[in-house]
Every structure is written in C-alpha cells, then in structure tokens.
Structure 1
Amino acid sequence: MRTLPGGRGYLAVLGAFGAATAVAVLVQAELLASFLVEPTVSAAVVAGLAIAARAGIGWAREVVAARTAARVTHSLRTRVLDGVPGDAGSTVTLLTRGLDALRPYLTGYLPAVAVAAVVPLAVLVRLAFVDLTSALVVALTLPLVPVFAALVGRHTAARTQWAALARLGGHFLDVLRGLPTLRLFQRVRAQSETVRAMARAHTDLTMRTLRVAFLSALVLELVATLSVALVAVPVGLRLLSGGVAAHTAVLILVLTPEAYLPLRAAGARFHASTDGLAALNAALAVPRPPTRGTARPPDPRVADIAFEGVTVSYPDRGAVLRSVDLRIEPGERIAVAGPSGAGKSTLLAVLLGLVTPSAGRVAVGGVDLRELDPAAWRAHLAWVPQRPWLFAGSVRANVALGGPDVDTALAAADLAGLDGPVGELSTGQAQRVALARALARPAGLVLLDEPTAHLDGTGERVLLTAWRALDQTSLVVAHRPVFLREASRVLIVRDGVVV
C-alpha cells in the first residue's frame, strides 16, 4: 500500500475508522445492556442513536474505501498503459478483470483488517474490567480464529485464479490474431480444443477455490460460535445462581460476539481479495517507461533533423537500423525505398518518438529528441501509417480530427462532396481519408508510410499531386518510380543501413 497513490493516508484513515468503530461498539454494548435490564423510552432512544452512529461510521468507511479503490485502480491502469508493453493478452486481462478484482481487497479486506486490529483488543480490555473469568476465556479462544484463517490462507495462496485467467486471455488473443493462418493450415479445431482445455482448467481452479473458501468460512463460524458458547453458558449459570449482576451478564453476552465478529469478517473477505493482490503485484511489476523530456521542440519547418549514429535493436530481431547518419534539411521532400523488413518503418517510428534508439541520437535543431516533450513534438507531425485507423462517423468528422483546414484537405485528397459513413468506403477511399486527415493538420513534418499500398491509379495521382503541393518537410516510404522521380532525395534502406 505504501507504493500506491494515497496508500499511507488510506491506511491511517482506516485506523481512525477502526478506533471509532471500537468506541461505538463499547458505547452501544453499554447502552443496550442498560436498556435490556431496565427498558425505558429514553434508554431505547439513546441505544438507537448509538446503533445509528455505528452504522454511520460503517457507511462513511465504505464511501472512503470506494473512492480510494476507484482512484487506485485508475492510477494502476494508467501506470500499466504508460509502462513498457508486455504480452498483449495478459495486459488486457490485467487492465480489465485483474484490476477490477482489486476492489474487494481495498473496499472489503483492508477495512475489515483495520477493524479486526482494534475492536477485539478494546472488547477484551473492557471485559477484563467487567469479568476477569470471561476475559480469560476470550483471550484463550480469540487466537484460534486468526490461526485457522492463516492455515486456510496458506492453503489457498497457490490457488489464485489470476495466473490461470491471464494465461487463458493471452492464449485466446494469440489464437484470434493467428486465425487466418490456423484456417490456412487447418489447425482451428486443435486450437479450439486447447482453449477449451484451458477454460476447463480455469473453471476447475475456480471451483476448488470456492470449495476451500466455503469450508474455511464454516470452520471460522464454528470456532467463533463455540468460543462464544464457552463464555455464554458459564455466565448464564452464574446469573441463575446470583453470582453475577444482570447488567454485567448482559454486557458480557453483548460484548463477547463483538470480539470474534471482526476476525470472522476479515477471514471471510480474504478469499475475495487474493486475485486482486495477484493483479496488484502484476501491475506494480510492469516496467516504467523511460523519463520523458520536457523541452519545447523546434519547428521542423525551420530546424534541421540529424540522425547521428542511430542504431535500433530488438531482443527478438537484433539490429534493425545500424549506425544511421542522416541529415534532413527543412522543406526537403524525401522518398525512402528498400525491400520489406529493411527498417523503413522503423526509421519513421524513431522520428515519431515511438522507438528510442539503442545507440546514437536524433537531434532536432541540435536538441536531442529524447529531451523534447513527446506530445509537443508530435503536435508538429502528420503521420499516415500503413494501416490507418478510421473512427466511426462521417468522412468530415475523421478529417476534422487532423486540424481545422477540412475543406482544403478534402479537396487535396479528391474527396470533396464525399461525406458519408466511413464504413461504406472502399480501402482506397479510406486511405485517402487518412491522407486528408494528415493534410488538414498544421504540421511541419509529414511522414507517409506506404501510402500507395491500397490506392488505384486515380488515388496514386491524387497523392502525388498533394505531395508536390507540400511546402513542409516530408518523408514518404514508397516503391513506385513516379514518387522516386518527384523526390528531392531518395534514401535506400538495406539490412538496416541507409544509403
């Protein structure tokens, strides 16, 4: 909890609520005992007010716990999304079912533990002043509840469903991604059996966990009930023989269950929190991204861009770019060509700040790109990826996301008058909508990654005309000879080397 936002404060507030609950329990027990021995209207009103005050403390604790849980889960989701990406399936499961399971831990288990740490001790001290024999019985039987809870907790520590759920989610996502390949090689049925087997394993683990939870609840209830009986029966016999006053006997009978109730509640809520704790550990284990720069970026319309010994390596592919030295002058129109997998898209990704060089640096106007504020730098860029994403809505609404100059951009992309839903567009038209969105953006650097991949002859001519009209610095990854001829410079990328 110390690593979470507001964690220390939340624990302090829970401690205060625990102390307030202990005071409310003692006051309520005294007033109820007085009312039951000598029932009067005033005693009933006062006892009712005490019960209402205790209920109000519980309500306030739940409100604080719910708000804290919402804040913590939001912070953890932001941390996971901002962190270094890992396995996509496990990450999605963590962001949804995983962190949702943290709420029972924050709103149920921790408040119950805070109450269980204070109330039994307060009740035991009060019983010692009222009747030492009853206090000794409670002191001897009270540790049985946490002992049994600890034993059950050790048994269920290895039965958390989170790991199985994360594996199932990750494998299912991999199957969906590879479905075309599986259909091609007729392996869909085999993978269906694998997913079905993993789902059955998760179901069996869930049922085993629930069985242990129900059995442990039965054990805790039985221990607490027998412990209360060990106090209640002797007190009743002493009351009949006149060995104890009626007010004292009733007070003991009211207070004794209160000593065991918080421990039983904490033990019952333990099982609902185990998955949340596993998800919390997974969220905290997500590597934090490198520190982002805060410097204000130069305008690429007037600043040059220099690659100085840039090398980009991936753990599974090795070096994708190797010692790239390149200078881009303001206003240049550059075409980037080369075979597939040579590193062309990675070159654009480095300029976008999506990939950090393993060695070397990219300088914009002499300032290292890593020192620039990423959001401010990307505000100067317009980018059309190989597979652009269009949002649900009209063509105009999608183009308007790029910038205010919608009509000019639509005309440049030869989409004037086309304002229907994007779901009715052809692949080539969708590519031109993405181009119009980039043209509508007031950018100083335009990056186009294979923009002609889905265009017909008409679309290619539209793109070429729009590219000629650009006065910004631009890089286009293309293979068509017409683009190579129109470029002010052509860069060839082979095996990560730019020539």
Structure 2
Amino acid sequence: MLRYARSARGPIALTALLGTITALLVLAQALLISAALSPVVSGSATLRDVLPIIGGIAAVFVCRALVVAAREAVSTRAAAAAVSELRGRVVDASIALGPRWRATNGAETTTLLSTGLEDLRPYFVSFLPQLVLVCTVTPAALGVILLLDFWSALIALLVIPLIPIFMILIGRFTQAASEDKLASMKRLTAQLLDLMSGLPTLRALGREKAPRTHLRALGAANTKATMATLRVAFLSGGVLEFLTTLSVALVAVEVGMRLVFGNISLFHGLAVIMLAPEVFEPLRQVGAQFHASANGVTASRAAFDIIEEAESVDSPGAATCPDLSSTQIVLDGVGVRARGAWAPAPTSGIIAPGIVTALSGPSGAGKSTIVACLLADMTPDAGRIILRQTASASNDEGIALSDIDPTSWRDQISWVPQSPTLVPGTILDNMGGLPLEDLETAAAATGFDTVLATTPDGWKTTIGTGGVGLSVGQRQRLALTRALAAHSQLVILDEPTAHLDALSEETVVRAIDDMRREGRTVIVIAHRAAMMEAADSVIAVRSAADEEAHA
C-alpha cells in the first residue's frame, strides 16, 4: 500500500507515534485508578488522601481524548491523501495503457475510481489505527499484567491466538464476498454506462423501457453481494465479541477468586481487571474494522494491478521529434491484433510531407486504429512507424515513432475525430486560446462563419457538454476550424465530411486544399468519393485473419 500511496507515509508514521502514546496513557490510567481505589476500598486512606491521584487520572483522561482526536484527524488526512494519490496514479496508468485498454476496461476503471477506492477510507480511518494499537497497547498491557500477575497473563496468552485464527478463517469468506461485491458493481456500472450512451437511440426507437428488467436483475445481484458481505461481517463480529468477553470474564473470575483467598493484593487485582479489556479491545476492533475496509482493500488490489500493468509497458521515447514539414511518415507493416484477427492487417505506405493522404478501406478494417498508432496512443503489434527526412530519404533509415518523445510529436499535430471534444462554455473557450484573427480566417475557409452568423452571440455563444446547442455538422466544422487555425504541420481528420451535406462537404474539401497549399501534411480517413478525389495518395487498409496476415 505504502509503495503506491507515498503521501500517506508521514501520517501513518504519526499514527504509529500516537498509538505508542496511547499505550502509555492506557497503562497510566489503569495503574492510577488502581492506586486511587485500592487504599480507599481497604480503608487505609481517605478520599482526600487520593485527590492528587484523582487529578492525575483526570489529566490522563484529557490527554487520551486529545490523542484519540489527533489520531482520527491524522488518519483522515492519510485516507484523503492515499485515495487521491491512488486515483491519480490509476488515471495516469489508464492513459499510459492507451485507448485500446480503456475501451475494454473503461467501465471497471470508472467503478474503481469512484465507489471502489472511496471504500478505502475506512482502512486508513478505522482499521490501520486499530492495527497500530494492536502493536502497541496489546503488548504493553500484556507485559504489565505479566509483571503484576503471572496466571492472569497466562490466561490472556492462551486466548489471544484464538482471535487471529478465527479472523483468518472468517477473512477468507470476507475476501471472496468483497470480490463478488466489486465484480457486481463493475457489471452494474458497465451496463449503466452502456445504457446511458445508447439512451437517445433507444428513445428514438421507443425501446427505452426494454433494459429495465435487466438492470433490475443487476441491481438485485449487487444487493445480494452486499448482503453476503454484511452477513460475514456480523458473523465475525459475534465471534470476536464472544472470545473477548470470555477471556475478560475468565481473568476477572480468576482474579476475584484469588482476592477472596488473599492470594493477590487489591491494587494488583484491580489493575489486572482494568488492563485485561485493553489487551483484547484492539484485537476486537481490528477484526470489526477489517470487514468495514474489506471492499476498499479489494479495490486497492485492483488499482495496484492497473498501476503495475502500466509500469510493465515500455517507457515512451525521449528523442525530439524532427520538423514534420520535411519528414516522411513511413508505415512499415503496421498491424494490430483484435479479437483473434488483424485490424488492420500489416499495412505499408509512405505519407509524404505537404500532401493529402487518404486511408481507405471498409468499416472495421482498422483505419482508426492506424490513426491511434500515429497519435502514439497505441503501439502496433506488428511493424513500426518511421520518420524519415525527405532530403536524405534514400539513405536515411529514419527514427521509429516509439523512440520519439510523445509530447514533442503531438505538439506538431492537430487531430479532428468524428466526435470532437467540446467543453461547456463559449465557442471561443473551445478554441484553445488561438488568436481571434486566425480563427476568423479559418472559419471563413471551413464555412463555420455561416454557423456563427446564425448564433446569438457569435464566438461568445454558450454551448453545453459535447457541443449541445450545435448540430453534429456544426460541431465538425468547429473542430475543423480549430485544426486549421492551429497551423499544426500534421493534420489528421477522421471522416471530416461524414455528417455534412454536399455543399458543406465541398467547403471542407476546399479547407483541406488550403492546408495543402500551406504545405501542411494532411491524413484523412475517407469513405466518400469527394474526399478520395481530393487526396494526392491513397493507402489501402484491410483486416485479415491470422493465416491471411502471415500469408
């Protein structure tokens, strides 16, 4: 845990120190109470005689309350720091693992980042401080009992091993129940996210109520898993309560009998009886809080798996990206495996600088996957992407894209996906701080100026998440305008005319021509004839089965 949540190390060390102080205060409290009661009960002293001791007891009570409050504050801070750091590391790991991994594990990661790691807070707030007390208060109290009365210490020593044995046995069931609970939450979240993304389509078809039964079944399964975890927790709590009560009762009976026969002094007997619960209370609390934090511990293991998987991925390159205005991009047998086949099959081609290159092929052939490789979001399973200077293309082996620093590579790229990322705010807020003059010029080239003319406030018009307030075609023009105004040397477009009419398509084609005249390299995923005709070169992309790919 501390390996991945380094920010919690300091608070945890402070929690250990406070646990040691608590152990000393527990001993002082028991011994002072015994010292005050025994002479008064035996009649050898009056209440006035023990007033200084009572003052000491009051001071110990106050100090113990302050230490408990400080321990809770520190453990809460440790929980917040650990959960925040783990969330950040899981997010960084999911980014490092790429879009292909996120597409497969997105729902599970969402569950982990929300409710999963949030359940880790009880581990730091409740379980860990009690574990510290087991390591401090329990041995300290047991040691003092041993000094005061050997037989009472022997009874405690015989009972103590039973508690972890039962905890281990019950903990096995708890871990399985917690894993079922997390898996159930992941399934429910995945189905819910899928339903939410497809809800507009379901409503359009009048089928929005169809998934109700399935979601109700998933909810019932989640409830069942939760109740199974609670049943185990209550069972273990009952067992621990029985063992601790039995052990304290045995010590009390043994001490009482010996007091009757005069085999132990009243001071020693009272001290032993008051210290006996302190021996077992931390153990009981550890068992009880273990179940409260079990879901979080299970989630943390899932987080560690993601982080370790990301650490096993090769580190990105460190070389500086060359100037793309004079660099060929060579696809050297680039292929990616997907579901037992290749999409794309190993593909080769040269993307020359300053021209428009189209990636052509049927749907599912792997055109978007090649683009993901070009964006350094994915590593091909076969082949590689090479950057080669055109001035020495004949004798220059070039540099592999995997050896280049991704940041310096992406700094020269503008990427326009089919569904552009738009944030709530004004249209101008979504333009990345580009100069307004450049935006006006780009808008005239892409036809976005006509869109602005129909809006109430032009560039200051407010839009919602994902571009709500603009049509699909208008969002596409906005993204194209942003790419044109950025003056990036390499522009990658994913079917930029997919949602446009013929007139708008012609405007976009003219904008791409403008980029070419400026000497920019343009890569287009193309299906329509107009885009194919606008391209200077075409790279055919296809999918293939394993045997075809290696044929």
Give the drift of 1:320: 1.9
Provide closer, same or farther for how the CA distance between residues 130 and 356 of structure 1 changes in structure 2, counting only shifts above 3 A.
Answer: same
Written as runs of structure 1 = structure 2, the 5 A alignment for 1:130-145 is 130-145=148-163
CA distance in structure 2 between the aligned counterparts of 1:59 and 1:407, rounded to whole angstroms = 61
Q: Which amino acid aligns with 1:30?
A: L
1:53 aligns with 2:63: yes
Contact in 2 for aligned 1:396/1:406 (Cα 8 Å): no
Give the drift of 1:449: 1.0
Provide closer, same or farther for how the CA distance between residues 34 and 318 of structure 1 changes in structure 2, counting only shifts above 3 A.
Answer: same
Structure 2 counterpart of 1:444: 489
Q: Which amino acid aligns with 1:106?
A: F
Q: 2:359 aligns with which of 336, 353, 360?
A: 336
Give the drift of 1:348: 1.9
1:459 aligns with 2:504: yes
CA distance in structure 2 between the aligned counterparts of 1:374 and 1:406, rounded to whole angstroms = 27
Provide closer, same or farther for how the CA distance between residues 167 and 478 of structure 1 changes in structure 2, counting only shifts above 3 A.
Answer: closer
1:92 aligns with 2:110: yes
1:57-101 Cα shifts (integer Å, max 9, x gaps): 434433443333333333433343324424332222122111111
Written as runs of structure 1 = structure 2, the 5 A alignment for 1:226-375 is 226-236=246-256, 238-239=258-259, 243-286=263-306, 287-288=309-310, 289-314=313-338, 316=339, 318-365=341-388, 366-375=398-407
CA distance in structure 2 between the aligned counterparts of 1:170 and 1:150, rounded to whole angstroms = 33
Structure 2 counterpart of 1:200: 220
Structure 1 counterpart of 2:177: 159
Written as runs of structure 1 = structure 2, the 5 A alignment for 1:459-478 is 459-470=504-515, 471=518, 472-478=520-526
CA distance in structure 1 between the aligned counterparts of 2:505 and 2:301, rounded to whole angstroms = 51
Q: Which amino acid aligns with 1:346?
A: T
Where 2:423 maps in the other structure, the secondary structure is coil
Contact in 2 for aligned 1:333/1:488 (Cα 8 Å): yes
Contact in 1 for aligned 2:317/2:406 (Cα 8 Å): yes
1:293-349 Cα shifts (integer Å, max 9, x gaps): 2222122123222222222222x1622233333222322222333332333322322
| TM-score, L = length of structure 1 | 0.88
Contact in 2 for aligned 1:403/1:442 (Cα 8 Å): no
Contact in 2 for aligned 1:402/1:439 (Cα 8 Å): no
Contact in 1 for aligned 2:123/2:296 (Cα 8 Å): yes
Contact in 1 for aligned 2:163/2:240 (Cα 8 Å): yes
Give the drift of 1:201: 2.4
Q: Which amino acid aligns with 2:355?
A: E
Q: 1:123 aligns with which of 133, 136, 141?
A: 141
Structure 2: gaps spanning 5 or more residues? 41-46, 389-397, 453-457
Provide closer, same or farther for how the CA distance between residues 127 and 382 of structure 1 changes in structure 2, counting only shifts above 3 A.
Answer: same
Q: Which amino acid aligns with 1:299?
A: D
Structure 1: gaps spanning 5 or more residues? none
Give the drift of 1:384: 0.6
Q: 1:69 aligns with which of 79, 86, 93?
A: 79
Let me know the Cα RMSD of the aligned residues: 3.1
| TM-score, L = length of structure 2 | 0.80
CA distance in structure 2 between the aligned counterparts of 1:428 and 1:182, rounded to whole angstroms = 22
Structure 2 counterpart of 1:26: 27
Q: 2:537 aligns with which of 479, 489, 495?
A: 489
Give the drift of 1:149: 2.8
Give the drift of 1:397: 1.1
Contact in 2 for aligned 1:381/1:446 (Cα 8 Å): yes
Structure 1 counterpart of 2:428: 396
Q: Which moved more, 1:403-412 or 1:418-427?
A: 403-412
Provide closer, same or farther for how the CA distance between residues 202 and 336 of structure 1 changes in structure 2, counting only shifts above 3 A.
Answer: closer
Counting matched residue pairs gives 496
Contact in 2 for aligned 1:403/1:441 (Cα 8 Å): no
Give the drift of 1:196: 1.6
